[in-house]
C-alpha cells in the first residue's frame, strides 16, 4: 500500500473504526503511520522527522528497528496532549470527512462548535495531501521500505554506518 491516496484512505478508515487514539497501533502500515506522524509533527521538536526520512537510505534498518515504535509512542503522546484521546463521534466524523473537505468555510461554520486545535488539525490533514514536502518524504519512505522488504536486495552498509560501528567497538 505505497500509494499515497490508499494510505490516506487507510488512515481515515482506521480513525473512523477505532478512534483517533486507538487507531495508533502496530497493525498500521508504515506509510499510514507516517501520515499520522507527519500530521502530528511539531516544529522545533527534539526529533526532526524530515532528517529521519533523509537518513533512511543510510540507515534503512531503522524503519523496522525503531521508527515504528517511536512513531506510535510520539503520536499517542501528541494525541493525548491535544486532548483528542476520546474524540466524540461527531468530531471524528468532522476530522475524517472527505466530502467538501476543501470548503474552508465548512470548517468554521458548523452547527456544533469545534476546538480550534481540531480545526487546525483538519486543515493540516487536508494540506498534507497536496504538499510537495510531504510527497517527497512519503516517496522516500515507501522506496526504502520496498527495498528493505525485498528479499532479493542486499543492503550494504554505508561508509558512515561502518565508521559508527567501528567507533562503538
Instruction: Give the DSSP per-residue string, 56-80.
Output: TTT-TTHIIIIIHHHHHHHHHHHHH
Q: What is the pLDDT of residues 16-62, one digit of tens each?
A: 899 999 999 888 899 999 999 999 998 888 889 999 999 888 888 88
Q: What is the pLDDT of residues 131-166, one digit of tens each?
A: 999 999 999 999 988 887 666 655 666 677 778 778
The count of structural domains within the chain is: 1
Label residue 1 by pLDDT band (50, 70, 90): very low
Select the more confidently predicted residue: 152 or 9.
9
Residue numbers of the domain that contains 42: 4-168
Determine the Cα angle at 67 with ends 62 and 72, to 5°. 165
Amino acid at each position: 500500500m505505497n500509494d499515497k491516496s490508499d494510505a490516506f484512505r487507510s488512515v481515515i478508515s482506521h480513525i473512523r473504526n477505532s478512534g483517533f487514539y486507538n487507531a495508533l497501533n502496530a497493525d498500521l502500515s508504515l506509510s499510514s503511520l507516517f501520515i499520522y506522524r507527519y500530521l502530528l509533527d511539531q516544529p522545533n521538536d527534539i526529533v526532526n522527522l524530515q532528517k529521519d526520512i533523509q537518513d533512511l537510505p543510510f540507515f534503512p534498518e531503522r524503519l523496522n528497528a525503531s521508527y515504528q515504535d517511536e512513531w506510535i509512542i510520539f503520536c499517542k503522546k501528541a494525541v493525548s496532549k491535544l486532548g483528542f484521546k476520546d474524540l466524540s463521534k461527531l468530531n471524528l466524523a468532522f476530522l475524517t470527512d472527505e466530502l467538501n473537505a476543501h470548503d474552508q468555510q465548512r470548517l468554521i461554520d458548523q452547527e456544533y462548535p469545534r476546538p480550534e486545535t481540531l480545526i487546525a488539525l483538519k486543515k493540516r490533514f487536508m494540506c498534507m495531501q497536496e504538499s510537495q514536502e510531504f510527497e517527497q518524504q512519503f516517496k522516500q519512505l515507501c522506496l526504502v521500505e520496498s527495498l528493505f522488504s525485498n528479499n532479493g536486495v542486499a543492503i550494504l552498509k554505508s561508509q558512515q554506518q561502518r565508521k559508527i560501528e567501528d567507533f562503538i567497538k
